[in-house]
Amino acid sequence: MSLPTLVNTATDTVSRYVEAFKMHEGQVLNGSNAQVQGTRRAAIERFETLGLPTPKAEAWKYTPIARYLNRGYNLFLGQPETSVSARDVQELLVPDLDAHVVVLVNGRFDASLSDIGALPKGVIVTNLAKAAEANAALFNAHFSQYASFENDALVALNTAFVQDGLFIHVPKNTVVEKPVHLVSLIAANEDLLVQPRHLIIADEGSRVKLAQSARALGGTKTFVNTVTEVAVGRNAHVDLYEVQDDEPNVVQVNGVHTHQEDDSHFRTSFFTFGGEMVRNNVTIVADGRNDESHMYGLFLGHGKSHIDNHTYMDHAQPDCFSNELFKGVLSDQSTGVFNGKIMVRQDAQRINAYQSNKSVVVSDSAQMYAKPELEIYADDVRCSHGATSGQLDQEGIFYLRSRGLTEQQARGLMLTAFARDVVETVQIESLQVWLDQRLLDYFRRL
């Protein structure tokens, strides 16, 4: 099955995708899951109604997403090319990380490149398309429950064209000791819109960690619109780490939508090294008592890259804790955006919610926009937020240089120190070590 082309008769982007949907409707998820079919139809209708976000939309004020999508990327609805080799995968693996490796090529599962290995009893690590059929009841109970497309055109577009991605289910009281490592590769001869969809379900008392890395091979332009849904059950722990290391030919919108039940822990850290435009949309609904939620990010803008972290921490229940720290280093003509909102609903008493955004701007032409928001309806809460943006301490640089370090070495040490506390949020040791080295190399080249 190869249907990579998109009709070009429609004039505007929204109509082009709506027409493409009508043409290819039956091809997705093999059309076998009736509930998904209904959801997809609702999603494309909603997409048509919403249209693409304009800069007037507050959530997209600094990121002109339509300008990117209007480039006319082709929809990828086919099977992956076979040009990807095991060596391509190898290069994206974290050294010394013993993991269950799942490989996606152009958003589709590649069984021959994956190396899932032995899993604890009852644990499912597979691809989304397969789970939609083989585990339909479980799938239907969670799919599209957390990533709402009601007011999000990008989630609507992803949902309408849902094809494949990663599916994880960890049953009650089961611990997946080794992390799952998701490697996503793009290999194409044309400019593509790729829309992976992941679903992670952690039942009561279970634990799982996911590490992700991605790369576009070759020089075609790619728009990756990912949606990840995470259901964290009672007393379950889920960690999600993502290394975003794309070349300037890749634009990505990355939605992570998490729902937490009582006593659960969720942690996510993003490390953004590159890409033309990266937008991370993180939504956490702490919908249980005594939840812990952690959101961290380190973004390193260079060249003309534009990195936008958009977070929404929704405290819907009492006695919860959340912590959020996003740090950036912006060089060249790059732009950083941080927009973080903490919502504390009326009955969510005794909440401790912290948010911090710090950036270092190392070039005169780089820019940082920060917009922290608090919306609190309960009266017994402790919330704090802060945003700072500045330059490296020149006195510190001089001190290091006065001991013989070059200016580059001095800056490298200072920036590594600045980034340190975000790297320390990673609870997988080999990933932390690898990130440390990557950062040192990156900062030394600045």
Partner 1 sequence: MALLDIKNLRASLEESGLEILKGVDLTVNPGEVHAIMGPNGSGKSTLASVLAGREDYEVTEGSVAYHGEDLLEMEPDERARDGVFLAFQYPVELPGVSQMNFLKEAINAQREHRGEEEISAGVFLKLMREKAALVNLDPAFLRRSVNEGFSGGEKKRNEIFQLALLEPRLAILDETDSGLDIDALRIVADGVNKLRAADRAFVVITHYQRLLDYIVPDKVHVMVDGRIVMSGDKDLALKLEDQGYDWIREESVAAV
Cβ 389 to partner 1, closest distance in Å?
A: 18
Binding mask 7-46 for partner 1 (x = CB under 8 A): ----------------------------------------
Q: Which residues contact 329 (CB under 8 A, 6 or more apart)?
A: 299, 300, 301, 359, 360, 362, 415, 418, 419, 443, 446
Of residues 399 through 428, those in contact with partner 1 by CB under 8 A are 399-407, 409-410, 413-414, 416-418, 420-421
Pairwise CA distance, residues 349 & 35, whole Å? 37
- The interface with partner 1 within residues 162-201 (CB under 8 A) comprises none
Structure tokens at 165: 């991605």
Evaluate whether 195 touches 207 at the Cβ level (below 8 Å).
Answer: no
Nearer to partner 1, 389 or 416 (CB): 416
**At residue 230, what is the residue type?**
V
Least separation in angstroms between CB 333 and partner 1: 25
- Measured in residues, the chain has a length of 446
φ/ψ region of 404 (left if φ > 0, alpha if ψ in -120 to 50, else beta) reads left
Compare residues 377 and 399 and give the one whose CB is closer to partner 1. Answer: 399
CA dist 36 and 26 (Å) reads: 11
Q: Are strands 74-75 and 166-170 parallel, antiparallel or unpaired?
A: unpaired
Rg of the chain over CA atoms, in angstroms?
21
**Cβ distance to partner 1 smaller for residue 27 or 409:** 409
415 token code pair: 């920036």
Tokens, residue 353: 């919610």
Find the shortest distance in angstroms from Cβ 384 to partner 1.
20
Nearer residue to partner 1 within complex by CB, 56 or 403: 403
Task: Indicate the residue among 60 and 434 with the shorter CB distance to partner 1.
Answer: 434
Smaller CB separation from partner 1, 71 or 420: 420
Q: Which of 172, 396, 432, 438 binds partner 1 (CB under 8 A)?
A: 396
- Binding residue count for partner 1, defined by CB under 8 A: 22
Minimum Å distance from CB 361 to partner 1? 18
Per-residue mark of binding to partner 1, 349-388 (x: CB under 8 A): ----------------------------------------
Min separation Cβ 191 and partner 1, Å: 41
Unique residue bearing structure tokens 């040192």 = 440
Contact segment (CB under 8 A) with partner 1 among 49-57, 264-272, 361-369, 396-404 equals 396-404
Least distance CB 409 / partner 1 (angstroms) = 6
| Beta pairing partners, 109 | 104
Chain residues 303-342 in contact with partner 1, contact rule CB under 8 A: none
Q: How far is residue 260's CA from residue 235's CA, in Å, rounded to a whole number?
A: 9
- Per DSSP bridges, beta strands 166-170 and 197-202 are parallel
- Least distance between partner 1 and beta carbon 133 (Å): 50
Least separation, in Å, of the C-beta of 177 and partner 1? 31
Give me 121's structure tokens: 């009893």
**Identity (one letter) of the amino acid at 401?**
R
Q: Are 269 and 243 in contact (CB under 8 A)?
A: no
Cβ nearer to partner 1, comparing 387 with 440? 440
Write the interaction track for partner 1 spanning residues 218-247; mark x where CB under 8 A is met and - where it is not: ------------------------------
Q: Which is nearer to partner 1, 376 or 440 (CB)?
A: 440
Least distance (Å) between residue 296 CB and partner 1: 16
Angle between helices 407-423 and 394-401 (to 10 degrees): 120
Q: What are phi and psi of 180, to 5 degrees?
A: -90, 130
Of 59 and 392, which has the nearer Cβ to partner 1?
392
* Alpha-carbon span 191 to 371, nearest angstrom: 33
Residue (192 or 415) nearer to partner 1, CB: 415
Report how far apart the first and last C-alpha atoms of the chain are (Å, whole number): 46
Binding site for partner 1 (CB under 8 A): 393, 395-396, 398-407, 409-410, 413-414, 416-418, 420-421
